[in-house]
Structure formats: C-alpha cells, structure tokens
Amino acid sequence: MAAQSITEIESGTDDDTVSDIASTSGSTAGSLTGSGDRGAARLAARGVTVGYAGRTVIDGLDVSIPPGVITTIIGPNGCGKSTLLRTLTRLLKPAKGTVVLDGEDIARLRTRDVAKKLGLLPQAPVAPEGLTVADLVARGRHPHQSWLRQWSSDDADVVARALAMTGVADLAERPVDSLSGGQRQRVWISMTLAQGTDLLLLDEPTTYLDLAHAIDVLDLVDDLHESGCTVVMVLHDLNLATRYSDNLIVMREGSILAQGHPRDVITAELLHEAFGLRAQVIDAPVGDSPIIVPLGRTHV
C-alpha cells in the first residue's frame, strides 16, 4: 500500500481534474529526488499579519513551503502555529500580506479551485454519529462534484484507492464513531486524500493519540510523502517532529526563529530560546535526525 502514488489515484478520473492535478504536480516532480528546497514553493506567505478580534498573533511573517517534502511547524502553545496553518489554507484572512498558492494569490482563487489543489485536515474533526467510513471518505470528492453530477464511477475509483492507501478499506462499512482514535485519524486523512490534491495540510494529526497510534498516523504521512505529496503539519511532540520531517519551522510569539532540516536546526540553545526548555540534543542511534532529551528541573 505504501508507494501507490497520488497521481495514480487520479489516473482514473476523466474530466478537468486530471489536467488540474497534472499541472500542479509538474512542479513537484523534479524536487522529489533532490533536496527539495530548489523547486518553486508550492505555498508561501508574504508579509502576512493575522489576528483574532483586534489581537495580532502573527505580524509581517514570510515563509515558503518547499515542494515534495514534509514540513512541520513546531513552537510553544499560543505561538501562532495553528494560526499560520489556518492562514495558509485560507481559513483565516490576513489583515495584511498575501498567501501564494502555486504562484497565485490564494484570496483571488475560487474556494473550490483551492480545494482541488490543497487538502486540509483541521484539528480534531468530528463526524456525525453513524456516518460510515466510506461515506465520510466519499465527501472528500465534493470539490470535483456539482449539483447535477453528484457521484460518478470515477469518484468511486478515487475513493476506493484512498481507502486502500490509508489501510481502512476493510472498515468501509463501519460507523466512524465506532473506530479507535488512530483508525479515525486515518479515515480523515483518507478523506483529504480523496480530494485528489498533492498538497496536504494537517493540523495536529496526532493529538489525543497514544504513541503507537501516533507513529501509525505519521507512517501514513511518510507513505503520502513517498507517493509525491507535499505535507505541512503542526505537531506538539518535538521528537516525532524531528524524526518525521525534512523541514522544520520553529516559531515563537508569532515569528519564525529557525527553518531547515532538523539536524541543522535543533540545538539546545534554540530549544531554550523557543520553549524555555532545558534539554540536551544527541544524535539518534538510528537515522540522521537528532533526539531531544529534556532535562527538566531535576533529571540531570
């Protein structure tokens, strides 16, 4: 199930969606093998200022999301991680600045066209009681449907593949609320996948999951990355973030402290500056990412 590509998922569809996907993933293709930073950014914020009801959370921030890699935003609670993610997905409208998606100002695109390019999974979504897995994932096709054309065999194909790829196919007839937290999160990611986009933004996909289920979900994110997706997520667990990302964005009080590969970015000084956390950073026994060992007050 691992390496089935998202373009393969889309190959069953006939109409404009295919060319849509093809044209957007064209820019991604070159960067898949390389370091990733060289391709044009899929998604970028330019001088955005965002806030809620008069309180400014992010002030004049610039960031670009490199194509074909997993980018994770970390930072202390209330630093504006989710605000940034929500701004990038147009859930929040910046007071100043623009968000650029594949070279176009996202505020000028039709909501539907954005949904064909960019998949979004909000924090802790809730499905109506009794809704089945297949029905939920099928709703991911909404941006490709219209009042007259509500369901086609192409939709069925894409949904079947999205179910298979996320490993929830044999749960298809079960109500979503009867599943475990990890399975549920897989189902939601499956729905986002059925949207047929290769740019996925996940807001804290591992919240409320135990470590094994969190790893399960992050392995799925890895699979999506392998298949050519650009993934942006917000994570709370620093060690999971360093282990599963190619690109870290470290935030504090609405601005970006550092950005880059975990092994270049994560240092004891940075952690202290960002989180006020005393920690030691050591090389992991496996893989090339660092491990953070928090010291706390007494565990020296």
Partner 1 sequence: MNETDVKRDKPPVTVSPGVRLGRVSFVWRPWLVLVTVLLTAATFLVFCVSIGVGDFPIGLPQVVTTLLGQGEQVDEFVIMDLRLPRALAGLVVGIALGVSGAITQSVARNPLASPEILGITWGAGAVAVFLVTVSGGTTTAVVNSVGLSAAALAGGLLTGLLVYFLAWRRGIDGMRLILIGISVSAVMQAITTWLLVQADIRDVARAQVWLVGSLDNRSWDDVRVALWCTLVLLVVVAGAAFQFKPMHLGDEVAAGLGVRYTVVRAVLLLCAVLLAAVAVSVAGPVAFVALVAPQVAMRLTRCPTPPLLASGLVGALLLIGADLVARAGLPITLPVGVVTAAIGGPFLVYLLVRGNLRQTDR
> What is the Cα gyration radius of the chain?
19
Q: Which region holds residue 168: left if phi is over 0, alpha if psi is between -120 and 50, else beta?
A: alpha
Q: Which of these segments, 18-26, 85-93, 259-267, 291-299, binds partner 1 (CB under 8 A)?
A: 85-93
Residues 53-72, interacting with partner 1 (CB under 8 A): 53
Q: What is the DSSP string of 232-277?
A: EEE-S-HHHHHHH-SEEEEEETTEEEEEE-HHHH--HHHHHHHH--
Residue 216 binds partner 1, judged by CB under 8 A: no
Q: How far apart are CA 110 and CA 208, in angstroms?
A: 34
One of 33, 54, 108, 129 touching partner 1 (CB under 8 A) = 129
Contact pattern from residue 88 through residue 127 relative to partner 1, giving x for each residue in contact according to CB under 8 A and a dash for the rest? -xxx------------------xxxxxxx-xxxxx--xxx
Contact partners, residue 139, CB within 8 Å, separation at least 6: 191
Number of residues that bind partner 1 (CB under 8 A): 56
Nearer to partner 1, 185 or 242 (CB): 185
Contact pattern from residue 188 through residue 207 relative to partner 1, giving x for each residue in contact according to CB under 8 A and a dash for the rest? ----x--x------------
Q: How far apart are CA 154 and CA 149, in angstroms?
A: 11
Q: How far apart are CA 64 and CA 84, in angstroms?
A: 12
Contact pattern from residue 168 through residue 187 relative to partner 1, giving x for each residue in contact according to CB under 8 A and a dash for the rest? -xx-xx-x------------
Q: Torsion angle, CA of 273/240/283/286, rounded to 10 degrees?
A: -170
Residues in touch with partner 1 (CB under 8 A) = 52-53, 89-91, 110-116, 118-122, 125-132, 134-136, 138-140, 142-143, 145-153, 155-157, 159-160, 163-164, 169-170, 172-173, 175, 192, 195
